[in-house]
Structure 1
Amino acid sequence: MAPLYHYGSEAEIIRIGEGFAASTLPKAEWTHGAHWAAAFWLILKRPDLTPEADMPGMIRRYNEAVGTPNTDSEGYHETITQASLIVARGFIAREGENASLHALCNSLFASRFGRSDWLFQHWSKGVLFSVKARKEWVAPDLNPLIV
């Protein structure tokens, strides 16, 4: 089965990352793939930021800019954000910091993490969709998060 997402150039990832950071990326383009692209871009191209600390506020601002409320049931989700950053850092460690952004994304998309349901291999729906997991890091209750 072919990956759902594929990026052909570094420029595509940079456009997504910069659009996300400026809260100008169209909401329709804030896809599962774009979330990963933004994570890789932040980690590798924004040394002035600490993604684990800065991305939560950036996502909240972006959500507000595109009309998505940050509530107990929608918008920003801490556990998903931090889990995604753990996975992104794992891919960078495996592929090397000199790998191109689009190659990193495409490698991830070809893996199990390219599926939007990858989280359910690690968290039960009840735990992942809890208000607690939305507001703070909650460790996996099914399987450890290993990249």
Structure 2
Amino acid sequence: MTEFPVRHFLSDEAVAHIGEGLLARTLPREEWTHEAHLAATTYLVLKHPEIDLDTELRGIISRYNESVGGVNSDSEGYHDTITHAYLRGIRLFLSEADVARPVHDLVNELLMSPMGRRDWPLRFWSKERLMSVEARRNWVEPDLAAMP
């Protein structure tokens, strides 16, 4: 897998911009990066506990994708297994972190951790299983190793 430089967040406001922009569907499409996915989800976990992310994150991301001209199909857009794998990883990371710290510091630390890597899900799923239509549509159990 190609290594990409990690883009860090410089302030809590920058993280809030991503999280609130996702919710409001006002985030410019070019800002919806891997880092933004993790920042938005971390922000939602910490700042919007009233949102049941286990059931609502699919709709939040799918509606956002459509609002910026994207589609949610069998080959692009929302991916349920990857989304829920990272949600689980973010919750694990936060359970071991000092959540009193600034949100952007937490997000930056997450991005540098194993759970923040673009290839983290491939520790648990084969590429074929993870990239399957079934895994995109619904949660699919890992086939290589159990998730923490």
Instruction: Give the letter aligned to residue 72 of structure 2.
Output: N
1:95 equivalent in alignment to 2:97: yes
1:45 to 44, 47, 51: 47
1:106 equivalent in alignment to 2:103: no
Unaligned 5+ segments in structure 2 are none
Instruction: Give the letter aligned to residue 38 of structure 1.
Output: A
2:25 maps to what in 1? 23
Q: Distance in 1 between matches of 2:99 and 2:78?
A: 28
Per-residue CA distance 1:32-66 (angstroms, 9 max, x = gap):
00000110111111122111111110000000011
Per mean C-alpha deviation after superposition, the further-off stretch among 61-70 and 46-55 is 46-55
Large movers: runs of 4+ above 3 Å = none
Deviation at 1:3, TM superposition (A): 5.7
Deviation at 1:91, TM superposition (A): 1.0
Percentage identity across paired residues of the two chains: 46
1:134 to 131, 136, 142: 136
Contact 1:91 1:104 in 2 (8 A): no
Deviation at 1:2, TM superposition (A): 9.8
Deviation at 1:142, TM superposition (A): 0.9
Secondary structure in 2 aligned to 1:82?
A: helix
Instruction: Give the letter aligned to residue 117 of structure 1.
Output: D
Q: Distance in 1 between matches of 2:105 and 2:134?
A: 34
Q: Distance in 2 between matches of 1:143 and 1:60?
A: 28
Aligned residues: 146
Contact 2:90 2:115 in 1 (8 A): no
Deviation at 1:98, TM superposition (A): 2.2
Instruction: Give the letter aligned to residue 44 of structure 2.
Output: L
Unaligned 5+ segments in structure 1 are none
Deviation at 1:6, TM superposition (A): 1.1
Secondary structure in 1 aligned to 2:16?
A: helix
Per-residue CA distance 1:55-95 (angstroms, 9 max, x = gap):
11000000001111101111111101111110110111010
TM-score (norm 1): 0.93
RMSD: 1.6
**Cα distance change on mapping 1:3 and 1:112 into 2, 3 Å:** farther
